[in-house]
Amino acid sequence: MQALLSCCCGVDVHRDTLQVCILQGLSDDPEEVHAEFKTLPSDLGNFVQWLKKHQCYHIAMESTGVYWRPVYEAIEEHYPDYQCLMVVNAHHMRNLPGRKTDVKDAHWIATLFRHGLLQKSFVPDHTARVLREYSRLYRSFTFEKSRYLNRLEKFLQTHGFKLSTMLSNIYGVSGRALLYTLAEKGSLSLEDVQEATKRRVKRSHQEILAAVCGHLNDAECRLLKLLLAKIDQCQTEIEEILAIMQEIAQPYAHVLAQLDSIPGVDIISALTLLAEMGPVPQEHFSSSAKLCSWAGLSPRNDESAGKMKSRKI
């Protein structure tokens, strides 16, 4: 098979080491240069200098998890002359025939890369990658808050407080006021209910009081305070993360404005789309169908013996 690259490097990325191989020449028997580097920051610098020494401008790497990130970013930062830098899907590598051992992985990657048999994984620019980390952290904290809200509801139901029957949101303005008073006093009076529900609520004060007329002992009050504090902490962190995301996304303000103008897409959804797809997805995906397929939103059709077997998204 004809070689397409006269010099390329294959990198097998592990947690602690890099196995690398450069293939030089267009002949059927190219010159091989093997090396091993550690993944410490100083060693990554040595790896970049090694690439420069051999004038290798095409690099492909295979990695699991996030081990590729420091290697990728070291090359981006310290080797701006590179012409092609790609991360290869490990699943794609396994599907190709050939030798698969830790020692020979780098050579195999370089061989496939040399003949144009590797498919580049989508990697957005550095700003979008940082924004993606915050976006996923935002989602994690949102789930964490929901988890503690569910735990709070379970606590109230366990002790006979039917607040969710009276209020549509037990952690709204009125609900929070009632819960903080309950945590302090251990029980609620009609005056407490009236003070907490100054805003408009559908239920009468007497109905709300009937739903929350139980009593908590000292240990139960402390547990309720812990739950309320944890929910407030999650909310504070969520707001802080959102502010940081908006700050990071300032260079893409026009993209955010366009996304936010779509019906049903708010600022959170717009930031998430920007983080996951990057600011210019059309540079990486030739059609909307390919973008949807990459996002896992396209149903798959399997054909066997002339029969189409539909698959869910």
CB-count exposure of residue 152 (10 Å: 0-12, 13-18, 19+): buried
Higher per-residue pLDDT: 301 or 165: 165
pLDDT given at position 201: 81
92, pLDDT greater than 80: no
In which band, very low, low, confident or very high, does the pLDDT at 303 lie, cut at 50, 70 and 90?
low
Model confidence over 37-58: pLDDT tens digits?
A: 999 999 999 999 999 999 999 9
State the Cα–Cα distance between residues 18 and 10, nearest whole angstrom.
Answer: 10
Q: Which CATH superfamily includes the segment(s) 7-121? A: Ribonuclease H-like superfamily/Ribonuclease H (3.30.420.10)
What predicted TM-score, i.e. pTM, was given to this entire model? 0.83
State the Cα–Cα distance between residues 126 and 8, nearest whole angstrom.
Answer: 24
In which band, very low, low, confident or very high, does the pLDDT at 282 lie, cut at 50, 70 and 90?
confident
Topology of the domain covering 127-250? Helix Hairpins (1.10.287)
Of 66-70, 196-200, 246-250, the one with minimum mean pLDDT is 196-200
Q: What is the DSSP letter of 282?
A: G
State the Cα–Cα distance between residues 85 and 82, nearest whole angstrom.
Answer: 7
Residue 21 pairs in a beta bridge with: 10, 34
Average pLDDT of every residue of the chain: 90
pLDDT given at position 40: 95
Residue 179 vs residues 101, 163, 166: alpha-carbon distances, Å: 60, 9, 13
Model confidence over 13-31: pLDDT tens digits?
A: 999 999 999 999 998 889 9
Q: Domain residue spans in the chain?
A: 7-121, 127-250, 253-310
Q: How many CB atoms lie within 10 A of CB 34?
A: 13
